[in-house]
Structure 1
Amino acid sequence: MSTIRRLYSCPCEDAPGRAEPSPLLVGQVVELARYPVKSLGGERLAYAPFAVGGVAGDRSWAVYAEDGGIGSGKTTRRFRRIDGLLSLRARLDETAAAALGDGEVPLVVLPDGRELRADDPAAGQVLSTLLGQPLHLRRQSSVPHHDEAPVHLVTTAAVRKLEQLLGESVDVARFRANIVLEAEGVDFIEDDWQGRHLTIGNQVELCLGPGMPRCVMVGMPQPHAGLGPDVRLLKLLGHVHQVRFGLQASVVRGGTVQRGDLAVLG
């Protein structure tokens, strides 16, 4: 597939004339995930199409507050903290998954198991009642829903490092990554990958950016994933890793990634 125009800058291009490093096999895809509505629980995938905006259908919709801010776990210029979003999850039905595009509408799954289409006005009314403030659901327009970059990647080596520091297991689901790579070692190995390209499988090429800044969402309960609250993770990351975990990435060449695909660092 041809190189595609990116919406996010690529740090790999900031150093003209830099010698190309030798390709290195660094891991294998063990998890793929998509979050059709930002800050809600998402869905694990066996395969995922990647395009300029990241995983097709990822964070294409969001919950909006009354003042127009995008529902999130934090409050910034773009985002508004809305507690309780992670008690919900979103998915694309099988028909949508087979033909992803701008016209696809996710289903919002409520804590009681009911499902509502995101474009149904009743969905916003139900969420407003459930979360105690006026809310509505909206498709992404000119203001992106992604926090920092369209793709988020973590490694199991970094997860093992956190587990070593914490003294107990850490569920990778807390970090809401699009791609989880099984990688050798016990360290934040992806720190050394910043500014390089990563080819996954036979099609997709990513440009790896800086570390992903974390917020309180890493410690929030995720009932759909069986996770309770844990305030220790954010404090630990602030102490040992500048409150960053995983890498931001943008798409250089689109295509499909499957679980089991190998990842080669260029």
Structure 2
Amino acid sequence: MKVGTVESVWRYPVKGMAGERLERCDFDHEGLKGDRIWAVQDVRRQEIQSCKFRPQLLQCRAHTRGNGQSRYIEIQFPDGKLFRCDDPEASMKVSVLVGHDSQLRTLQPKAEADFYRRYKRDSHTWLDELKATFEREEGEPLPDLDNLPESVQEFVSLQGTFFLASTFHVLTTASLDHMRQVHPQSDWHIERFRPNLMIDTLPGIEGLAEQAWVGKTLQIGELVFDCSDPAPRCGAVTRKQSGLAADTSLLRSIVRQADQNLGIYGSILNAGVINTGDEVRLI
């Protein structure tokens, strides 16, 4: 059943930073090519950071430059200055921005387990820190963080990647339109929610459309996507970002009117190319 078309494709070359809109992109089982291939590492903690813990990163934007073997990643900082990720001065500027001594790092082999390991000062502080990033008010629900898989307890990302738990994230125009209707005071800009794929749903498909797709499969052009989980939202969506103002009311609305979820996660089952305008079918 056709449910829409690809409205836009998004890639985030540096974990936690704003990304780039694409007309087409290659993909495989590990996600979009070039997605989250750099990240910021806290030097003291020796831990990879995300915009959950370092929301200032959202004020930077990462772009892919060059072609083929000469391809590199360039960061635009809030002051407008541009630096390549492999320039030591870029790490210095990140350190000043986030207020912690930091280094920009590229992906390491999966076997380098310590590179992806979660920093734990003791048995509980890491979980308290994680819960705090969701910025819930009294009486508001949290995702089930007390029963995380062992791998998520031990590592800040899937080993060999900079993805927390899923390599692909999908959002629909139906969901954003729905949230605009229930909370029109806020700016429901797509970039707040960092999807890889924005689906322009067909007329008549309304509400939080993609939540009904969990447990099902999407065919998107050449891409076959297993819809595995809803995407619970944390405080990152409320933060000041590249071109977007801070807005705490967004999260209140998502928690209370959308059961704290907006968008879905899943895994890609094949390899190929995805293009803006590709048909999206529920199978």
Class of the TM-score when normalised by the shorter of the 2 chains: 0.7 to 0.9
Scaled by the length of structure 1, the TM-score of the pair is 0.81
Equivalent pair of 2:18/2:191 in contact (CA under 8 Å): no
- Tell me how far apart the structure 2 counterparts of residues 147 and 162 of structure 1 sit (CA, whole Å): 25
- Aligned partner (choices 94, 99, 111) of residue 132 of structure 1: 99
Amino acid at match of 2:200: E
Matched, 1:56 2:33: yes
Q: Report the secondary structure of 2:164's partner residue.
A: coil
- Tell me how far apart the structure 1 counterparts of residues 236 and 97 of structure 2 sit (CA, whole Å): 19
Distance 1:57 1:133, change over 3 A: same
Match of 2:233 in 1: 214
Match of 2:65 in 1: 93
| Deviation sequence 1:119-141 (CA, Å, 0-9, x none) | 22222122112332200011123
Structure 1: unaligned runs, 5 residues or longer: 1-23, 75-80
- Tell me how far apart the structure 2 counterparts of residues 190 and 121 of structure 1 sit (CA, whole Å): 42
Residues 94-109 of structure 1 aligned to structure 2 (within 5 Å): 94-95=66-67, 99=68, 104-109=71-76
- Aligned partner (choices 232, 245, 249) of residue 232 of structure 1: 249
Matched, 1:193 2:220: no
- Tell me how far apart the structure 2 counterparts of residues 121 and 205 of structure 1 sit (CA, whole Å): 39
Match of 1:13 in 2: none
Scaled by the length of structure 2, the TM-score of the pair is 0.76
Distance 1:83 1:205, change over 3 A: closer
Q: CA deviation at 1:247?
A: 0.7
- Identity value in percent: 31
| Deviation sequence 1:121-175 (CA, Å, 0-9, x none) | 2221221123322000111233332122100000000111111110245212211
Amino acid at match of 2:103: H
Match of 1:69 in 2: 47
Runs of 4+ with deviation above 3 angstroms: none
Q: CA deviation at 1:240?
A: 2.4
Amino acid at match of 1:178: N
Match of 1:161 in 2: 178
Superposition CA RMSD, Å: 1.7
Matched, 1:172 2:190: yes
Q: Report the secondary structure of 1:133's partner residue.
A: coil
Match of 1:38 in 2: 15
Equivalent pair of 1:73/1:215 in contact (CA under 8 Å): no
Match of 1:181 in 2: 199
- Tell me how far apart the structure 1 counterparts of residues 184 and 77 of structure 2 sit (CA, whole Å): 34
Amino acid at match of 2:218: L
Structure 2: unaligned runs, 5 residues or longer: 111-158
Q: CA deviation at 1:104?
A: 5.0
